[in-house]
Amino acid sequence: MFLNFTKGVDDTLTAWGNTMALIGYARVSTDEQTTAAQMDALRAAGCTEVFEEKASGASRARPELARALARIGRGDTLVIWKLDRLGRSLSHLLEVIEDLRDRGSHFRCLTSPIDTASPHGTLVLQMLGAVAEYERSLIRERTRAGLKAAKARGRVGGNPKLKRGDKAAARRLADRQRQLYLLDLTRTAEEWLPTVRRLRPVRSWAAVTRAVNAKLPPARHWTVERLRRAVRTFVAEGLAERMLLDKVPSVRGDDRLMVLVAGIARANPKLSLRAIGAQLEAMRETTPRGGRTWAAGSVKSLLDRARAQGLLTVSPPPVSASEPSDLPSNP
C-alpha cells in the first residue's frame, strides 16, 4: 500500500512508508461535537484510512474502534490524536495497545511521546503500565475494604440497579460484554477469518471448523457453534460478508468436489491449477479416484464441469504437457 507522507511524519515512519499502513481513529463524545480537528491532524500524519466514532468515553461500545482494530494487520500502526480519544481509562488504553503488540502492530499518539515502534515510545508505555498496575492495586485494596465494611453492616454484594431490574444498567452491562467479546475476536481474526472466507458457504460449518483447527494447537480449537457465533458477530458489525452465513448449496455427492473447487477458484481467480490442487491436499480432500495427490488435469476437469453448469464464468487456466492428470484416460 502506498502512503503519501506529509509534514508531521517522523523519520521512523518515513523509513517504513512502503511496508506499513497508518490507520487513524477519531472520537467525539456527543453528536454536537465534531472530529474535524482530529481528522485533519490524522490525515496530515499520513493516515490512509480514518475511522470516525461518536461515543462517550465511558462506554465500551465502540463499533468503529472494533472495525479499525480488525482492519489493522501485522506491521500497521493505529494512530490517534490524543490518548483520551482511545481509552476510557488507562487500563483500557493499555489493553488495546497490548492487543496491537501481540498482533505485531504498532500504536502512535500525535500529541504524546508514545510510539511503540520506537524505543523511547516503548519506555513511556512501560511507565504508563506501571502507573496502571498501581491504580489496579489501589482499586483492589479499596474494593476489599469496602466489601469487608459492607459485610460487617450486613449488606449483600451485587449490583443494586440490576437487582431492581434497571433496564439502562442491564443495557450498559450487555454493551460492555459485547464489546469485550468483539475485541477478543479481533485479536484472533487472522487465525480463522481467512479460512472461513475461503470455504464458506461451499463447505459445511463442521468442515470449516476442522480446517481452522488444523492450523491451531488443541488448546485453542474452536467448536462449530463458537465459530458460527464469531462469524455472525463479524457480519452484524459489518466486518465480514453476509454470504458467509448462507446455507451450503444442495448438491449430489459426486458434485461436492466440483462445487468445492469452484468456490476456491471464485475466491481467488488468479490461482493456478497446481495451487488449487495444493489447497485441496491441505484440506485432505481425495481425488475422484481416491488418491491424495492432486494433478492439474483433475482440477481442470472439475473446473470445466463447474463452468458448464454456470458455477464459474472464467475459463480455467490450461494444463501444460508437464502436468499429468490422475483421471482415467479414454481408450
Q: Is 228 in a helix, a strand, or coil? A: helix
Q: Is the dihedral of CA 200, 204, 206, 210 positive or negative?
A: negative
Neighbouring C-beta atoms of residue 151, cutoff 10 Å: 11
Q: At 187, which amino acid appears?
A: R
Are 60 and 175 a contacting pair, CB within 8 Å? yes
Instruction: Count the helices and strands in the chain (H runs, E runs).
Output: 12, 4
Active site residue 298: no
Q: Report the alpha-carbon distance of residue 147 to residue 39 in Å, rounded.
A: 45
**From CA 289, how far away is CA 220, in angstroms rounded?**
35
Closest CA to 244 of 189, 181, 310: 189
Interhelix angle 167-199/224-236, rounded to 10 degrees, is 110
Cα separation of 47 and 213, whole Å?
35
109 vs 94: CA distance, rounded Å: 13
List residues with catalytic annotation. 29
